[in-house]
Amino acid sequence: MYLGWYDPDRKKSPERKLSEAIERYRRKWGRDPRVALVNVIDATHYPGLDVRVVSHVAPNTFFVGEDLDSGGSFLAA
């Protein structure tokens, strides 16, 4: 399950945008995301988070959440 976060504000850094997406995820689901999917333009590092650059995510868009394994349950940390 992922939360999609779009923020076109050019004054904010990708790190800040990702941080805001993570905070929203925490408020919504009460836990930390494990993965972030980002565009190469927004590639950044975030401690404790697996940040993955993928071509199908548009710039200024961040998907934070958890991967599902083939059995349909959440992967263990």
* Tens digit of each residue's pLDDT (9 = 90 or more) over 30-75: 999 999 999 999 999 999 999 999 999 999 999 999 987 533 444 4
Burial of 22 (0-12, 13-18, 19+ CB in 10 A): buried
Whole-model pTM?
A: 0.85
Cα dihedral value 13, 15, 17, 20, nearest 10: -140
Look at residue 71 in the predicted model and tell me its pLDDT.
39
